Amino acid sequence: MPIPREFDFANYDVEVAKLVHGENKYPAWTIIVSFYASLHLVRGKLFPLKDVQGSASILVASFDHYCNLHQADSKSKHQKLIMLVAIHLPNISSKYKWLFDNSVTARYNNYNFDPSYGDTAYKYMEAIRTECNPVIGSPAPVATPSISTA
Amino acid sequence: MNPLAVQSPEESVRLYSFFTNWRTPVREGYSHDQLIDAYLTGMEHAKTEEKRLLGGIFQNNLEHAMKFSEEKFQALMKIFDVTPVGMRMSVIGISSFETLLILSRDNYQSSKIESIYGYLLDEMRKVNNEQFNWTFILMPSLGDLNEEAISLDGYSLMYANPA
CA A64 to chain centre: 12
Whole-model pTM: value is 0.80
Domain span holding position A80? 6-132
pLDDT tens digits, one per residue of B129-141: 989 999 999 999 9
Within a domain: residue A1? no
Within a domain: residue A150? no
Query: What value does the mean pLDDT of chain A take?
Result: 88
Least CB-CB distance to B121: which of A73, A93, A108? A93
Alpha helix ranges (H) inside chain A: 6-23, 27-46, 63-69, 77-88, 90-104, 115-132
Within a domain: residue A93? yes
Cα B122 to Cα B134: distance, rounded to the nearest angstrom: 12
What CATH number is associated with residue A61?
A: 1.20.120
For residue B78, is pLDDT > 70? yes
Within a domain: residue A99? yes
For chain B, list the domains and their CATH numbers.
Answer: 65-158 (3.30.70)
Q: Are B161 and B73 in contact (CB under 8 A)?
A: yes
The reply to whether residue B114 touches residue A104, judged by beta carbons under 8 angstroms, is: no
Within a domain: residue A142? no
Q: Is B139 an 8 Å CB contact of chain A?
A: yes
Least CB-CB distance to A75: which of B133, B144, B146? B133
